[in-house]
């Protein structure tokens, strides 16, 4: 009895000793006590095999403390490079400082952009690939090598080690949806780059033309646009003494009509690439060229064409021919950036360029404009070869930091512009404009010595406007004022298709688009009578419109679910 009681007391004493030992505060790398640090799962551990259970020390400092690794590690990365970038990215200031901050050294293997896909696939096929692959990847690569296990699923790593990315997801759920594959996993890190210069170039026109033609108000309706274009044609709008050489509206192909005129009649944009696919207020996928109001759009465009208010060469001319006409001041309204006028007589005369705002029409009272896409994915993947995926995830999470969350003056924006007040600075208290600090004058300078300015994973928020030439400033300011308030999303360009879905619609969708484009041009030019519009709508069904629409609905519903 006494022996049994002694054993019991010994067991209680052992338990108390263990509890007291567990109460000791763990010191961080900086000497502060860490609050409930999460166990790190390394390549030699499993989720159930923590450093405490194996007796191994955690090689990482807690999330939010630096350096990331207590001892320096080396990670291999193969990446696509541009011609302005060095062969050794360790010569760039950003990677040098990040190595000091994180204790993560990268062994870079950079390959020219055109050679990257082939070399990457060869390495993956031969099982000789590096820890990380970056820039030059496609969603097809994710779909191929993710399920095969060569690209690791990042979902848990993001949850545990990437708070900046999680914060961005909460603000921009579309970004999360874009990174999510059809099997619900995340193999690639994305690139989100909202920029003041990333604007849909709705038609611009010369303010001097408007005044010469007696127009006092910027058009806001299709009727007002018609009156302005008519005045451009009938009066000496360019002021050169010849009233017959003006081209009121010029562009290449039917795309300009789709972007600028079609939304005024249908209330839908079809996206920044004018694909024709959109989403109605009930979340249903629609095809704009099949709508009844699409006929109103075609009738209007046919009227412009028949009255000589659009360039008769719009179907046959190329971009170089259009540029020549614009630079010669022969075109009133054009679908290009006004920066094309730099160095021309128009610039010498200091003539302002005005942006055409979204229009309304008798068929539609809602102003809408396609929002530009600011998402590219994937920008980087971590492979199953990587011994330190947690450290790499934390390293890349720095790239998703906003300016407010910068660490030692580094955030995602640093990739694009360099370090604030060292390579660039704001020029106003409201932080709406910035300029480079010599000897840095542009992105090419940065690519040579400071950073890789584009398409690494990250959050590059550059809504401030660079202090620049007159027409770049006008492009941005006019677009921000007249376009930004009316931007709407459409069928997401980043929505993902399964292989089966893609196979089912690829050929059919191409045939449908070719037919619609052909008929659109015929209706506009009068080669096909608009009396045949209903027959055209019926013909769309023969091009598997309903089948394509059903697949796109499935794709869209999955995309919405992924954004939650």
- Let me know if residue 547 belongs to a domain: yes
Pairing of strands 285-287, 331-334: unpaired
Same domain, 183 and 256: no
Same domain, 149 and 265: no
Same domain, 269 and 364: yes
Q: What are the structure tokens assigned to 253, written together? A: 């192909």
Half-sphere exposure of 204 (CA within 13 A, CB side): 25
Q: Which pLDDT score, from 0 to 100, does residue 56 have?
A: 56
- Let me know if residue 456 belongs to a domain: no
Cα–Cα distance between 31 and 33 in angstroms, integer?
A: 7
Q: Which pLDDT score, from 0 to 100, does residue 41 have?
A: 35
Cα–Cα distance between 309 and 80 in angstroms, integer?
A: 46
What DSSP assignment string belongs to 379-448? EEEEBTT-S-HHHHHHHHHGGG--GGG-BTTB-HHHHHH-SBTTTEEESSTTS-EEEE-TT--SHHHHHH
DSSP-derived letter for residue 510 is H
Q: What is the pLDDT along the chain (564 residues), one digit of tens a residue?
A: 433 333 333 333 343 334 333 333 333 334 343 333 333 333 333 333 344 444 457 899 999 999 999 999 999 999 999 999 999 999 999 999 999 999 999 999 999 999 999 999 999 999 999 999 999 999 999 999 999 999 999 999 999 999 999 999 999 999 999 999 999 999 999 999 999 888 776 789 999 999 999 999 999 999 999 999 999 999 999 999 998 999 999 999 888 889 889 999 999 998 877 789 999 999 999 999 999 999 999 999 999 999 999 999 998 999 999 999 999 999 999 988 898 888 898 888 888 999 999 999 999 999 999 888 899 999 999 999 999 999 999 999 999 999 999 999 999 999 999 999 999 999 999 999 999 999 999 999 999 999 999 999 999 999 999 988 788 888 889 988 998 899 998 999 999 999 999 999 988 999 999 999 999 999 999 999 999 999 999 999 999 999 999 999 999 999 999 999
Cα–Cα distance between 259 and 273 in angstroms, integer?
A: 8
Cα distances (angstroms) measured from residue 292 to each of 479, 531, 536, 546: 30, 13, 11, 16
Hunting for tokens 């249903």 — which residue is that? 284
Q: What are the structure tokens assigned to 225, written together? A: 């646009």
Same domain, 235 and 108: no
Q: Using CA of residue 462, residue 464, residue 467, residue 470, what is the dihedral sign? A: positive
In degrees and rounded to multiples of 5, residue 133 shows phi and psi of -120, 135
Same domain, 351 and 389: no
Same domain, 180 and 255: no
- Let me know if residue 453 belongs to a domain: no
Q: What are the structure tokens assigned to 221, written together? A: 């309706």
Same domain, 281 and 132: no
Cα distances (angstroms) measured from residue 238 to each of 231, 310, 322, 330: 11, 16, 17, 7
Hunting for tokens 């390959």 — which residue is that? 111
Cα–Cα distance between 337 and 340 in angstroms, integer?
A: 6
Residue 192's H or E segment, with its range, is strand 188-192
Q: What is the pTM of this model?
A: 0.84
Cα–Cα distance between 96 and 427 in angstroms, integer?
A: 28
Listed residue (150, 525, 91, 163) closest to 308, CA to CA? 525
Beta strands per DSSP E along 178-336: 188-192, 204-206, 247-250, 277-279, 285-287, 331-334
Listed residue (325, 322, 360, 329) closest to 346, CA to CA? 329
C-alpha Rg value of the chain to the nearest Å: 29
- Let me know if residue 210 belongs to a domain: yes
Cα distances (angstroms) measured from residue 507 to each of 208, 353, 389, 514: 47, 42, 40, 11
Same domain, 221 and 330: yes
Listed residue (397, 343, 394) closest to 167, CA to CA? 397
Cα–Cα distance between 121 and 141 in angstroms, integer?
A: 9
- Let me know if residue 15 belongs to a domain: no
Pairing of strands 188-192, 375-382: antiparallel
DSSP-derived letter for residue 328 is T
Same domain, 390 and 280: no
Q: Could you check whether the bond before residue 378 is cis, i.e. omega within 30 degrees of 0?
A: yes
Q: How many domains does the chain have?
A: 2
- Let me know if residue 511 belongs to a domain: yes
Residue 133, classed as helix, strand or coil, is: strand
Half-sphere exposure of 145 (CA within 13 A, CB side): 27
- Let me know if residue 195 belongs to a domain: no
Same domain, 286 and 358: yes
Residue 75, classed as helix, strand or coil, is: strand
Under 8 Å between Cβ of 458 and 191: yes
- Let me know if residue 148 belongs to a domain: yes
Cα–Cα distance between 2 and 10 in angstroms, integer?
A: 12
Same domain, 226 and 309: yes
What DSSP assignment string belongs to 436-501? E-TT--SHHHHHHHT---SSSSEE--B-SEE---HHHHHHHHHHHHHTGGGEE--S-TT----HHH
Cα–Cα distance between 187 and 427 in angstroms, integer?
A: 40
Q: For 217-227, give one letter per residue: b (16+ CB within 10 A) or e.
A: ebbbebeebbb
Q: Could you tell me how far CA 527 lies from the centroid of its own chain?
A: 39
Domain with residue 211: its CATH number is 3.40.190.10
In degrees and rounded to multiples of 5, residue 337 shows phi and psi of -70, 140
Domain extent for 158: 65-189+378-403
Listed residue (219, 472, 202, 237) closest to 347, CA to CA? 472
Same domain, 271 and 302: yes
């Amino acid at each position: 009895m006494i022996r049994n009681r002694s054993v019991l007391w010994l067991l209680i004493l052992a338990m108390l000793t263990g509890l007291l030992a567990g109460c000791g505060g763990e010191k961080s790398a900086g000497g502060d006590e860490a609050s409930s640090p999460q166990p790190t799962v390394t390549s030699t551990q499993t989720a159930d095999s923590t450093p405490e259970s194996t007796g191994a020390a955690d090689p990482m400092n807690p999330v939010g403390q630096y350096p990331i690794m207590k001892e320096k590690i080396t990670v291999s990365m193969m990446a696509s490079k541009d011609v302005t970038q060095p062969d050794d990215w360790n010569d760039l200031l950003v990677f040098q400082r990040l190595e000091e901050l994180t204790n993560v050294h990268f062994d870079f293997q950079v390959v020219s952009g055109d050679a990257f896909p082939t070399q990457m696939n060869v390495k993956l096929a031969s099982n000789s690939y590096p820890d990380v692959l970056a820039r030059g990847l496609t969603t097809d690569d994710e779909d191929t090598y993710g399920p095969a296990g060569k690209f690791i699923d990042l979902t848990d790593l993001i949850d545990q080690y990437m708070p900046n990315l999680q914060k961005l997801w909460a603000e921009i759920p579309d970004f999360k949806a874009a990174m999510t594959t059809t099997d619900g996993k995340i193999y690639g890190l994305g690139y989100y780059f909202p920029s003041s210069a990333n604007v849909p170039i709705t038609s611009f026109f010369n303010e001097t033309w408007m005044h010469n033609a007696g127009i006092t108000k910027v058009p806001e309706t299709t009727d007002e646009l018609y009156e302005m274009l008519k005045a451009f044609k009938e009066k000496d709008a360019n002021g050169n003494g010849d009233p017959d050489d003006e081209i009121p509206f010029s562009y290449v192909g039917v795309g300009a009509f789709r972007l600028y005129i079609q939304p005024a009649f249908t209330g839908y944009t079809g996206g920044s690439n004018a694909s024709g696919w959109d989403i109605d207020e009930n979340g249903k996928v629609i095809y704009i060229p099949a709508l009844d109001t699409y006929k109103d759009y075609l009738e209007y465009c046919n009227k412009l064409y028949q009255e000589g208010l659009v360039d008769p060469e719009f179907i046959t001319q190329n971009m170089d021919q259009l540029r020549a006409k614009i630079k010669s001041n022969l075109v009133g309204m054009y679908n290009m950036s006004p920066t094309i006028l730099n160095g021309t007589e128009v610039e010498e005369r200091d003539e302002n360029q005005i942006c055409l705002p979204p229009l309304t029409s008798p068929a539609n009272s809602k102003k809408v404009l396609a929002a530009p896409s600011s998402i590219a994915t994937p920008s980087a993947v971590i492979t199953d070869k990587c011994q330190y995926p947690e450290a790499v995830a934390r390293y890349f999470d720095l790239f998703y930091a906003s300016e407010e969350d910068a660490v030692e003056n580094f955030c995602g924006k640093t990739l694009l512009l360099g370090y604030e007040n060292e390579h660039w600075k704001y020029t106003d208290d409201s932080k709406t404009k910035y300029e480079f600090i010599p000897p840095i004058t542009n992105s090419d300078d940065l690519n040579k010595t400071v950073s890789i300015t584009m398409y690494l994973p990250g959050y590059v928020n550059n809504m401030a406007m660079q202090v620049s030439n007159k027409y770049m400033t006008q492009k941005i300011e006019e677009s921000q004022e007249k376009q930004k308030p009316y931007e709407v999303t459409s069928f997401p360009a980043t929505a993902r298709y399964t292989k089966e879905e893609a196979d089912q619609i690829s050929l059919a969708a191409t045939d449908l688009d070719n037919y619609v484009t052909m008929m659109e041009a015929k209706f506009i030019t009068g080669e096909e009578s608009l009396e045949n519009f209903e027959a055209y709508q019926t013909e769309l069904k023969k091009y598997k419109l309903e089948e394509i629409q059903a697949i796109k609905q499935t794709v869209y519903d999955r995309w919405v679910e992924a954004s939650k």
